[in-house]
């Protein structure tokens, strides 16, 4: 019996340790709003509006998810647009998915990082929770640049750095070389929903 209790306690500690690397966010009430903020990946280019990742995330979480994506937007444009969007929708949590268009236009990584940092500062200055999604750099064999994870650690926020890369590596999940299709956006939504649960939002 003692050995059984010891193993159970060890298993509990292991599970706690495994989840401890994901920063916690506030629990979302039934009426709280999630703001999905970004570019065409948030807008849902390549699929119907109801198939975009914010729309599917709303279905999976039972929360209102605002689809605030602007195709072609770069991080500087997102930074300028953010305050008005926050004022309009009054979210409890903001999901940031930006940077792909900057990289396509060969913007300096330091500039992308600085703009994303300013976006996250704006969100946190209002007492809101944030979640960051990393976008892969253009290329045949690539992944999200390190500055995404660096910023997530700096602000102590949950980070999803693999799902967009994973989707864009699978032709059956894409509508074109840089955008998911409906199935790809569902994969994104599922990954974000899982991260929200792990972080304590749901």
pLDDT of res. 53:
98
Average model confidence (pLDDT) for the chain? Answer: 91
Asked if residue 117 lies in contact with residue 151, where contact means CB atoms within 8 angstroms, the answer is yes
The CATH number for 166's domain is 3.40.50.1110
* pTM more than 0.75: yes
pLDDT of res. 42:
98
**Which residues span the domain enclosing 140?**
2-198
Angle between helices 182-198 and 53-61 (to 10 degrees): 40
> Is the predicted pLDDT of residue 169 greater than 80, yes or no?
yes
Give one DSSP letter per residue of 39-87, joined into a string: SHHHHTTTS-GGGSHHHHHHHHHTSEEEEEE-TT--HHHHHHHHHHHHH
Q: Is 179 helix (H, G, I), strand (E, B) or coil?
A: strand
| Number of domains comprising the chain | 1
pLDDT of res. 11:
45
Look at 19 and 187; give whichever has higher pLDDT: 187
Average the pLDDT over 142-165 and give the result: 96
Asked if residue 192 lies in contact with residue 53, where contact means CB atoms within 8 angstroms, the answer is yes
Q: What is the pLDDT of residues 71-128, one digit of tens each?
A: 999 999 999 999 999 999 999 999 999 999 999 999 999 999 999 999 999 999 999 9
58-65 own/partner pairs: CB under 8 Å, 24+ apart: 58/34, 59/189, 60/189, 60/190, 60/193, 61/28, 61/34, 61/193, 61/196, 61/202, 62/30, 63/28, 63/30, 63/32, 63/33, 63/34, 64/31, 64/32, 64/33, 64/34, 65/33, 65/34, 65/35, 65/36
pLDDT of res. 20:
55
**Phi–psi pair at 4, nearest 5 degrees:** -65, -45
pLDDT of res. 16:
41
Confidence of residue 193 (pLDDT cuts 50, 70, 90): very high
- Taking phi over 0 as left and psi of -120 to 50 as alpha, with beta for the rest, 96 belongs to beta
């Amino acid at each position: 019996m003692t050995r059984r209790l010891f193993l159970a306690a060890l298993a509990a500690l292991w599970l706690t340790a495994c989840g401890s690397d994901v920063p916690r966010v506030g629990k979302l009430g039934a009426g709280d709003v999630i703001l999905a903020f970004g570019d065409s990946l948030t807008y849902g280019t390549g699929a119907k509006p109801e198939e975009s990742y914010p729309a599917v995330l709303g279905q999976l979480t039972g929360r209102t998810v605002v689809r605030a994506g602007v195709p072609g937007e770069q991080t500087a444009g997102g930074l300028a647009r953010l305050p008005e969007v926050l004022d309009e929708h009054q979210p409890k949590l903001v999901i940031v998915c930006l940077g792909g268009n900057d990289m396509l236009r060969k913007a300096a990584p330091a500039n992308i990082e600085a703009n994303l940092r300013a976006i996250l500062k704006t969100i946190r200055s209002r007492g809101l929770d944030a979640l960051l999604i990393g976008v892969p750099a253009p290329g045949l064999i690539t992944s999200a640049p390190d500055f995404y994870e660096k910023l997530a650690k700096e602000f102590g926020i949950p980070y999803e750095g693999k799902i967009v890369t994973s989707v864009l590596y699978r032709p059956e999940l894409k509508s074109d070389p840089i955008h998911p299709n409906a199935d790809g956006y569902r994969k994104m939504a599922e990954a974000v929903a899982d991260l929200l649960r792990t972080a304590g939002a749901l």
